[in-house]
Amino acid sequence: MDEKKVSRGYLSSTLSCRCPRCRDGKLFQHGTSISFKKNMLMHKECTVCGQPTEIEVGFYYGTSYVSYVLAVAICVASFIAWYVLIGISTNDNRFFMWLGFNAVLLILLQPWLMRLSRSLWISWFVKYDPDWKEHKPMDVSERMNPDQANNW
């Protein structure tokens, strides 16, 4: 087997929605899609290192807060960009044009934002392991007991 070193950093691995443990395998089965189901369909475990992508019951419940924070950050960034490039005045409707632009921007970015918040979320719980080949992935069979589903 040839040794393939992945030298992806935390940021590029998270932004491209990759497994935080090996930074190589993709978390999602399909590319970003406007179909909600297709867009959010994840691999059960990383196809490269075997890291489970759902490490406990209701694991991704908190990601709505992450995508909310990301959305607010995008609003602030787009407002600053609009202010610098186009300007805001009380004498015309440039502010309302920004509101419309911002709404469209958020809708267009939504599929990617939802994936990015999951990628960020799991990256806070699963540590990068450069020697993942020598260690076993975490055992989640206890935490993912089907009897405990929806019991959180």
Please report, as ranges, the residues that interact with Zn ion according to CB under 5 A. 19, 21-22, 25, 46, 48-49, 51
Amino acid 141 reads S
Q: Which CB, 76 or 133, lies closer to Zn ion?
A: 133
Can you spell out the DSSP letters for 6-20? ----HHHHHHTTB-T
Closer CB to Zn ion, 98 or 123, in the complex: 123
CB of 50 to Zn ion, least distance (A): 7
Dihedral of CA atoms 78, 81, 87, 88 in degrees, nearest 10, equals 30
Q: Residue 138, SS3? A: coil
Is the Cβ of residue 46 or residue 70 nearer to Zn ion in the bound state?
46
CB of 61 to Zn ion, least distance (A): 22
CA distance 84 to 110: 25
Nearer to Zn ion, 37 or 127 (CB): 127
Q: How far is the CB of 98 from Zn ion (least distance, A)?
A: 41
Q: What is the 8-class DSSP label of residue 59? A: G
CB of 99 to Zn ion, least distance (A): 41
